[in-house]
Amino acid sequence: MKLLIEILRQASRTSAPYKQTIAYEAPPEDTVATLLKRLNSEEKLTDTSKSPVGSIYWQCSCLQKKCGACAMRINGTPRLACDAKLGEFKRGRLVLEPLKKFPTVRDLIVDRGVMMENLKAIHNWLEQSARQSEKTVDLRYDASRCLQCGCCLEVCPNFTADGSFYGAAAFVPASRILAQAEKDNPQALAAYYKENIFSGCGKSLSCHHICPAEIDVEHKLANANAVAVWKRYFR
């Protein structure tokens, strides 16, 4: 299929972004990830104004929706490049941009280190004994599938990289720990959960519909809130 691909490029963290448009033909069953690999393997690729196209920087690892590295904005929607088939874009127009909530490192690569820092800041780990209840095994498994891709934060109206609200990328993993913590043995996480998640979330649930791992984000939010209230972590 014929494609007109517009890519928002940026040479370094501090340089100004610019658009580059490339006309190209690729099979509709290819993904955006495969397309980027194809473009980078071309020796003399030029854009629509006949200027040379240098290597397009982007990230991937698994190419099967398991690592979250390839998250980017595709026609304005945060998605995984390895999960976006070209055939979906019937008019052949593709706009590829880096996620906007994080600092751009180069082209389509962003620095998502803040997500790990936020998990560390809320003490997202068990400090003492864990409860391996059969009742919570499905919830804990589902929460463990979070890719830390950042798509949920991209659409969250309340999240900013330098803000104190940490969004679904924090409460999905936190829901797993809260479900395991002993009632009479509250984790430090509970206090941070109240401060950095519970009180800042507007419950709009944009994060629920965007998650590429199809985690039931609404369930994780509701459960984490309920557990925190039942166990009186908010006293």
**End-to-end alpha carbon distance in the chain:** 60
Residue numbers 41-70 binding ligand SF4 by CB under 6 A: 68
Contact region with ligand SF4 (CB under 6 A), list: 38-46, 93-101, 127-135, 206-214: 206-214
206 binds, among ligand FES, ligand SF4, none (CB under 5 to 8 A by kind): ligand SF4
**What is the residue type of 17?**
P
CB of 176 to ligand FES, least distance (A): 20
Ramachandran assignment for 42, one of left (phi > 0), alpha (psi -120 to 50 degrees), beta (any other): beta
145 binds ligand FES (CB under 6 A): no
Contact region with ligand SF4 (CB under 6 A), list: 5-13, 19-27, 143-151, 176-184: 143-151
150 binds ligand SF4 (CB under 6 A): yes
Strand pairing of 71-74 and 109-110?
A: unpaired
DSSP state of 194: I
Residue numbers 68-97 binding ligand SF4 by CB under 6 A: 68
**Which of 8, 80, 197, 221 lies at the binding interface for ligand FES (CB under 6 A)?**
80
Residue numbers 11-30 binding ligand SF4 by CB under 6 A: none
* Residue among 75, 84, 105, 54 at smallest CA distance from 4: 75
Residue number with CB closer to ligand SF4 (139 or 147): 147
146 binds ligand SF4 (CB under 6 A): yes
5 binds, among ligand FES, ligand SF4, none (CB under 5 to 8 A by kind): none
**What is the residue type of 209?**
H
213 binds ligand SF4 (CB under 6 A): yes
* Residue among 215, 206, 129, 214 at smallest CA distance from 172: 215
CA distance 127 to 78: 34
**Which of 8, 201, 227, 228 lies at the binding interface for ligand SF4 (CB under 6 A)?**
201
CA distance 48 to 93: 14
CB of 191 to ligand SF4, least distance (A): 19
Q: Tokens at residue 107, please?
A: 């082209």
Q: Read off φ and ψ for residue 227, nearest 5 degrees.
A: -60, -45
> In angstroms, what CA-CA distances link 55 with 10, 32, 131?
12, 15, 49
Residue numbers 42-71 binding ligand FES by CB under 6 A: 60-63, 65-70
3-state secondary structure of 89: coil
Note the residues at the interface with ligand SF4 (CB under 6 A).
Answer: 68, 146-152, 156-159, 167-169, 172, 201-207, 211, 213, 215, 217
